[in-house]
A and B are shown apart, each in its own frame.
Chain A
Amino acid sequence: MSGALRDGLLGAALFLLLWEGVVRLFGVPPWILPPPSGILVTTWAARASLLPAMLATGQEALAGYAIGAVLGILLAMLLALAAPLRRLLLPVIIAVNAVPVAAYAPLALLWFGTGPLSKIVMVAFVVGFTVFLNTLDGLLRVDPAGIALLRSFGASRLGVMRRLRLPAALPDIAIGLRVSTVRSMIVAIVTEMLGSQSGLGWTIYEAVLQIDFLRVWAAILLASLLSLAFFGAVGVLERRVVFWR
């Protein structure tokens, strides 16, 4: 794993070096593409305003993520246990989920205001769907022979859920949770761009209006780092929890 990490870091360094070289060599104007060094300098210089923005976005994403993950898993468990309810609700859920998230964002702003709540709701909504669909898939794809075995031991449906379905679905749940990390950041930032008073999305929007492209890139850099860290942390957790895969 450390080998892969080293190669990844090396790849990133080479990419940045190439970027820097191309920008300098061809004299690309900074409003089209600034050099990485310029982005780093701006990020550091503007840290007093960028760090609170990053914190705000991170909090929204994390809160929405936690709520969405819990609700998604609970709903999937409920619908896995109640087949008639599942047949009734699943088509509706899939139809609602088929609409691109951004389409709902203005409504969320209308209902929950331009504060953090609208972002948390949007993130929870998207994360909830992703986790729900992955979890349900995992819960329903369990080996029927295993279910028969547990039933022959006298297990109830809840017992089968607890001792077989849920642990067997953990790899699928983990995939949903991992994919959701990046989505939670995207949704938080996009919703911020549509209406907010804080956060990286708002910073980007504001900086574009002020034609401050270095600041846009600085915010993108921080958003990427935050997203990457979130993704990595969940990945590490996944490898510990789903140790048998």
Chain B
Amino acid sequence: MTGAAERLDAQLTVAAPPVGRVKLSLNGVARSFGAVRALDRVDLSIAEGEFVTLIGPSGCGKSTLFNILAGLLEPDPGGTLLLDGAPAPSGSLLGRIAFMPQRDLLLPWRTVLDNAILAAEIQGQKKREARELARSMAAEFGLKGFENHYPQQLSGGMRQRVALMRTFLFDREVMLLDEPFGALDALTRALMQRWLLDLWSRYRRTILFITHDIDEAIFLGDRVTVMSARPGRITLDRTIPLPRPRQPSLLTAPEFMALKRELLEAVEEESLKAFAANGP
């Protein structure tokens, strides 16, 4: 991990993300399951290379949104979903967006390298070539020397890095990360956040990142969006004007605190609503 920290220091000159053209745009995307309305007219637009974080109470429909974006779930008719400016009907999104679910879902019969190349392999890439590429990236993902280990031999943080590597090797411009660090201890989580920012600044993928952790949402995001209690809707979309690269000391800076207070209020309001709706 020290290697990653050193590289992070060396990256001090990285500029703020370019606000490019719109990569992904959702307009009135909704979804009901029978009588239950999970998503209620979600409007969200993400620019190319942007890092957007999404927070919301549990059961607010975040997973529903992610499944729609990954092409796994059909949205209700009426809304529009544009990828690169073109309408993207549900089925067409399969294989176009790199999706990383909450659990690492590593396959126990595959080594670290073979887990990392799973998506590339499905896309028809030659196993040997994919392995070579993965091998050359192992150090960057803190997996050097573990290439031929099996997932069950790794720590939680390492497993998440393998899952992230698999997502990166899928090589799609948009990445959906569903609470990737949710199960990690605080220290590992902080290291992983900085490491992810470092990686993102080099690869410049468009990222939508779900989290429960407001600190994490502010620390990582160009923008923080807040989702309402079910039925889910984006109730707050806040630009985070904090300069990059971001250092851990930022977490205690006054401007960080001010943002946190603002977002906490918004999230708390939604959590209370969710609590009132679902009962104690």
Contacts and interface: CB of A to CB of B under 8 A. Distances in A.
B94 A151 contact: yes
Given A153-B170, A244-B150, A146 B118 contact: no
Interface string B166-192: 000010000000000000000000000
Contacts of A149: 99, 101, 105
6 closest pairs, A vs B, by CB? A154-B95, A244-B108, A153-B119, A152-B99, A152-B70, A153-B122
A145 B102 CA distance: 10
A154 B95 CA distance: 4
Interface string A144-184: 01101111111100010001100110100000000000000
A154 to B, nearest CB: 3
Contacts of B94: 151-152, 154
Given A143-B105, A145-B105, A167-B109, A153 B118 contact: yes
Nearest to A244: B108
A148 B121 CA distance: 16
7 contacts: A145-B103, A145-B105, A146-B105, A148-B67, A149-B105, A153-B119, A163-B121
A148 B170 contact: no
A159 B107 contact: no
Given A151-B94, A152-B71, A244-B150, 6 more contacts: A148-B72, A150-B122, A153-B118, A163-B118, A167-B109, A244-B152
Interface in B56-78: 67, 70-72
A227 B6 CA distance: 62
Interface string B72-103: 10000000000000000000001101010101
Contacts of A151: 71-72, 94
A163 B122 contact: yes
A244 B109 contact: yes
Residue with the highest number of chain B CB atoms closer than 10 Å, among A152, A154, A167? A152
Nearest to B104: A149
A135 B70 CA distance: 30
Contacts of A152: 70-72, 94-95, 97, 99
Given A154-B94, A244-B150, A145 B123 contact: no
A150 B95 CA distance: 9
Given A163-B118, A244-B152, A153 B123 contact: yes
B106 to A, nearest CB: 10
Contacts of A243: 109
A147 to B, nearest CB: 9
The secondary-structure label for the interface of chain B is loop
Nearest to A164: B107
Contacts of B119: 153-154
A145 B106 CA distance: 11
B44 to A, nearest CB: 19
A152 to B, nearest CB: 4
Contacts of B97: 152
B27 to A, nearest CB: 22
A146 B107 CA distance: 9
A159 B121 CA distance: 10
A151 B152 CA distance: 24
Contacts of A153: 95, 118-119, 122-123, 170
Interface string B145-161: 00000101000000000
A243 B152 CA distance: 11
A243 B72 CA distance: 32
A155 B108 contact: no
Interface in A108-162: 143, 145-146, 148-155, 159
A148 B105 CA distance: 11
Interface string B119-144: 10111000000000000000000000
Residue with the highest number of chain B CB atoms closer than 10 Å, among A148, A149, A151? A149
Contact of A148 (B101, B107, B109): B101
A159 to B, nearest CB: 6
A148 B66 CA distance: 11
A152 B97 CA distance: 7
A55 B204 CA distance: 67
Contacts of B103: 145
A149 B66 CA distance: 12
Contacts of A143: 105
Contacts of B99: 149, 152
A150 B170 CA distance: 11
Contacts of B121: 163
A154 B109 CA distance: 21
B152 A145 contact: no
Contacts of A164: 107
A149 B104 CA distance: 10
Nearest to B150: A244
A154 B105 contact: no
Contacts of B105: 143, 145-146, 149
